[in-house]
């Protein structure tokens, strides 16, 4: 008679594969070659080919950045002994650098960003040169592009973050009220939400932006209109789910009022998906803010923002001096890309199908 023993336990995870000495040598050689090629491409795109085509220099810079990314990945894999999420680390690094520059901009050794009376004798349309007094060049008024990118980031990021906060608070509260109390409140909020979602977003933004006075607060309120309807839908759906759970029903049976249950049991469980939604919406708001400024409905020149900096490339300026558009456009693209990556990673924390970033 066979004695079969069944082990009621999970299969232990497979151990991490540690690179062999031969594999490590291969990664070191690849990293060295890629780092050398990246250095050559970056130097060629920034200094060595000064005076050549701006498109050639831009292509070399992007090629150098890609090779540097691969080199960093191979070096990190050799040091850690396993595959490392280099993209996540670079995204966090970019936001750290950008956030620090925006926060401490008044104390950084930057050029003039908005006062044209101080740049009357400065050269205009200087090409980017990392080792010069104007690393990212100058615009038509001789204003420093690096300083304008940093101070423009203040306007773009602050307006977008304020819009997310306003939209999350207003939409979240309305969604919780509609989902938990129901009845006439739910019907009224539902109608307003449907109207907001049915109205063309761009037209709605233009109408609100043209109605409110200029300023960063007005711009944030304008952008928050874009956030509120979606936030209400998410908050209401999660509230309906939380309101039927055992701990919520138990709190009601123990004598807690509906307001106490909503504050202590419902809202804390609705916040995580709202934070995740806010992180995913933030890049869209940055693009929307740049679009409004491009159309002249946000920050007025010469005060910089990423959108009105891009608008300086109209009327033939871009063809002769592409860096006027490429510099703020590249910063805008990288920032939106980074926030999208981080938003997707953070959203997985509250997704039951994932248990890690």
3-state SS of 259-311 is HHHHHHHHHHHHHHHHHHHHHHHHHHHHHHHHHHHHCCCCCCCCCCCHHHHHH
More confident: 353 or 313: 313
pLDDT at 47: 66
Scanning the chain, the segments in alpha helix (DSSP H) are: 21-43, 54-80, 86-103, 145-181, 183-198, 201-211, 216-243, 246-253, 258-261, 267-294, 306-310, 317-320, 323-347
Q: What is the mean pLDDT of residues 209-227?
A: 79
Give mean pLDDT, residues 48-69: 71
> Does 265 score more than 50 pLDDT?
yes
Higher pLDDT, 289 or 350: 289
- Mean predicted confidence (pLDDT) in 204-227: 78
Look at residue 27 in the predicted model and tell me its pLDDT: 66
For residue 21, the model assigns a pLDDT of 56
Mean pLDDT of 231-255: 78
* Banded model confidence at residue 165, pLDDT cuts 50, 70, 90: very high
What's the whole-number mean pLDDT along residues 147-159?
89
**Apex 123 CA angle, 331 and 62, nearest 5:** 30
Q: What percent of the chain has pLDDT over 70?
A: 83
pLDDT of residue 97: 92
pLDDT at 10: 46
Residue 96 is predicted with a pLDDT of 92
Does 148 have pLDDT greater than 80? Answer: yes
Q: Which of 85, 148, 93, 99 is nearest to 119 (CA)?
A: 148
Which one is predicted more confidently, 311 or 9?
A: 311
The pLDDT, as a whole number, for residue 349 is 66
Q: Find, among 277, 181, 284, the residue nearest to 231 by Cα.
A: 277
Per-residue model confidence (pLDDT) at position 350: 59
Q: What percentage of the chain carries pLDDT values higher than 90?
A: 8
Q: What's the mean pLDDT when you consider all of the chain?
A: 78
How far is the C-alpha of 303 from the C-alpha of 154, rounded, in Å? 11
| Higher-scoring residue by pLDDT: 227, 23 | 227
12-23 average pLDDT score: 51
DSSP-assigned beta bridge partners for residue 144: 138
The confidence score (pLDDT) of residue 14 equals 46
Task: Return the pLDDT at 24.
Answer: 67
**Range scoring the smallest mean pLDDT among 151-160, 250-259, 303-312:** 250-259
Quick one: average pLDDT of 233-246? Answer: 81
CA-closest candidate to residue 148, choices 293, 355, 283, 285: 293
What pLDDT score was predicted for residue 166?
92
Find, among 204, 125, 160, 215, the residue nearest to 343 by Cα.
160
């Amino acid at each position: 008679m066979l004695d079969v023993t069944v082990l009621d336990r999970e299969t232990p995870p497979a151990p991490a594969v540690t690179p062999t000495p031969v594999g490590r040598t291969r990664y070191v050689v690849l990293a060295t070659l890629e780092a050398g090629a990246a250095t050559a491409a970056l130097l060629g795109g920034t200094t060595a080919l000064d005076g050549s085509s701006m498109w050639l220099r831009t292509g070399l810079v992007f090629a150098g950045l890609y090779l540097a990314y691969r080199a960093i990945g191979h070096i990190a894999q050799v040091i850690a002994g396993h595959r490392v999420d280099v993209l996540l680390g670079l995204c966090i690094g970019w936001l750290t650098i950008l956030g620090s520059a925006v926060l401490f901009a008044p104390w950084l050794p930057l050029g003039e960003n908005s006062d044209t009376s101080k740049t009357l004798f400065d050269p205009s349309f200087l090409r980017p040169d990392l080792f010069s007094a104007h690393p990212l060049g100058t615009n038509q008024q001789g204003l420093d592009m690096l300083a304008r990118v940093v101070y423009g980031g203040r306007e773009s990021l602050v307006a977008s973050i304020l819009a997310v906060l306003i939209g999350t608070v207003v939409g979240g509260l309305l969604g919780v009220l509609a989902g938990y109390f129901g009845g006439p409140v739910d019907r009224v909020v539902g109608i307003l939400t449907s109207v907001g979602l049915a109205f063309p977003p761009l037209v709605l933004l233009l109408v609100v932006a043209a109605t409110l006075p200029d300023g960063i607060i007005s711009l944030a309120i304008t952008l928050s209109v874009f956030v509120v309807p979606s936030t209400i839908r998410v908050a209401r759906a999660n509230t309906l789910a939380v309101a039927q759970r055992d701990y919520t029903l138990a709190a009601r049976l123990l004598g807690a009022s509906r307001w106490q249950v909503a504050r202590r049991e419902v809202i804390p469980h609705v916040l995580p998906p709202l934070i995740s939604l806010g992180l995913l919406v933030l890049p869209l708001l940055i693009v929307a803010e740049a679009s409004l400024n491009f159309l002249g409905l946000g920050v007025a020149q010469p005060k910089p923002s990423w959108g009105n900096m891009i608008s300086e490339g109209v009327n033939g300026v871009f063809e002769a001096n592409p860096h006027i558009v490429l510099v703020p456009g590249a910063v805008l693209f990288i920032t939106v890309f980074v926030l999208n990556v981080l938003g997707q990673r953070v959203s997985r924390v509250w997704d039951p199908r994932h248990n890690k970033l």
